[in-house]
Amino acid sequence: MCLTCGCGEANEHHHTHEGDAHHHHHDDHAHTKTVTLEQKVLAENDTYAQNNRAWLAERGIVAINLISAPGSGKTLLLEKTLEALNGKIKCAVITGDQQTDRDAQRLAGKGAKVHQIETISSCHLDAHQIAHTLPEVCEDGTKLLFIENVGNMVCPTAFDLGESFKIALLSTPEGEDKPIKYPVLFATAKTIVLTKMDLAAALEWDLPACRQYVQQVQPGAYTFELSAKTGAGMDAWLDYLKRLIQ
Amino acid sequence: MHELSLAQGLVEQVQQAAAAEGALRVVSISLELGQYSGVEREAFEFAFPLAAEGTCLAGAELVIREIPVSVLCNTCHRESNPVIPLLICTHCESTDVKLIGGREFLVKSVELEIEEE
């Protein structure tokens, strides 16, 4: 029954009973043994991630793993960022969605090489997918790689991609208290970008309250407030990106 | 639900260990799961039997030890386990802290059934 470990190969030791399709009877000629592993469950992913990190470091590329809820403005922020940096800083983008290449289409023609990963059933990008994509998307001279993760605030936080660091986005329509509801992401992202600030007044969205929640889950967290749509706050964001690659 | 792909990864890892030992089957698997690992315990426990079906891990017991979030205080230099999501030093209430534990997701050991020589 167990093709991989061959545990069912001795058929005389393996009886099948009604309603009990995988029940081994090793009777008194077997014993148990405890084997220490001390491995990360994500060891395979982490090996790819370490290789990705080394590959990027050799080429001096800063890689940002962008994680946030669907619809929080990752793609629009990237569109505006690529437009602003076009001809100044060579960028590349890996973008993940369950289906379609709509994000890649939106990001095309702005001076950056863009690659879409369709994850189909998966809720996150993993380091293996990134490993396959890096050589194609990072052309010579690339300084900044944006990895736009699948829109999801939970699953992508468990998978190291080999990025330099994570950046979390939080859009005003999501409410001020998202950081304490999804603390793993907001505690582990290097920087938190508050997006759709142009809607804050209409939503009666409370900036000081949101900042306080961010500080609770990550004291000292670095935050930006911006609107990719109106351009407010974009200069500070672009300056931050320029400083990253110096 | 990324827990299913994690469970499949665990199954592959343990299969390798079981094969290396020539094990008949896996009796139990001891794991450490951090509060900030990004892995939901109940979802993982639900997904594991699905991933284990048809392998030598089928029927194996998961023994999970939960690891709390821990921080190191940059003010009083002591470690503590804050009540999440509030990351503060529980000794001096400083917010100048570094997250040092709670991200773990480890397979510590496996109990294998081995045929007598």
Q: What pLDDT digit, counting tens, does each position of A181-194 carry?
A: 999 999 999 999 99
The answer to whether residue B110 is domain-embedded is yes
Architecture of the domain whose range is A59-244: 3-Layer(aba) Sandwich (3.40)
Q: Based on the structure, what is the number of domains in chain B?
A: 1
ipTM above 0.90, yes or no: no
List the structure tokens of A246: 């110096």
Q: Is A40 a residue whose pLDDT tops 60?
A: yes
| Predicted local distance difference test score (pLDDT) of residue B71 | 96
The whole-number average pLDDT for the span A101-113 is 94
> How many Cβ atoms sit within 10 Å of the Cβ of residue B58?
20
- Residue A44: pLDDT band with limits 50, 70, 90: confident
- Residue A21: pLDDT band with limits 50, 70, 90: very low
The answer to whether residue B78 is domain-embedded is no
Considering only the beta carbons, identify the residue of B15, B59, B87 that sits closest to A187: B87
- Residue B78: pLDDT band with limits 50, 70, 90: very high
| Predicted local distance difference test score (pLDDT) of residue A28 | 59
* Interface mutation vs chain A, best among B15, B24, B106, most A CBs within 10 Å: B24
Sign of the alpha-carbon torsion through A130, A135, A137, A141: positive
The whole-number average pLDDT for the span A88-109 is 94
The answer to whether residue B86 is domain-embedded is no
Q: Is B19 a residue whose pLDDT tops 50?
A: yes
Contact A72, A170 (CB under 8 A): yes
- Residue A246: pLDDT band with limits 50, 70, 90: confident
The answer to whether residue B58 is domain-embedded is yes
- Residue A22: pLDDT band with limits 50, 70, 90: very low
Interface check B85 vs A, CB under 8 A: yes
The whole-number average pLDDT for the span A16-42 is 68
Contacts of B112 in chain A (CB under 8 A): 32-35
| Predicted local distance difference test score (pLDDT) of residue B94 | 93
Comparison of pLDDT for A26 and A195, the residue scoring more: A195
Comparison of pLDDT for B30 and A14, the residue scoring more: B30
- Residue boundaries of the structural domains of chain A: 59-244
Q: In whole angstroms, how far apart are CA B101 and each of A30, B17, B41, B106?
A: 39, 27, 17, 13
Contact A188, B84 (CB under 8 A): no
| Predicted local distance difference test score (pLDDT) of residue A243 | 95
Phi-psi region of A27 (alpha: psi -120 to 50; beta: other; left: phi over 0): left
Reported as a single tens digit per residue, the pLDDT across A54-84 is 999 999 999 999 999 999 999 999 999 999 9
CATH of residue B7's domain is 3.30.2320.50
d(CA B105, CA B38): 9
**Residue-range definition of the domain harbouring residue B45:** 3-66+102-114
Considering only the beta carbons, identify the residue of B18, B84, B113 that sits closest to A26: B113
- Residue A6: pLDDT band with limits 50, 70, 90: very low
CB contact under 8 Å between B9 and A42, yes or no, is yes
The answer to whether residue B97 is domain-embedded is no
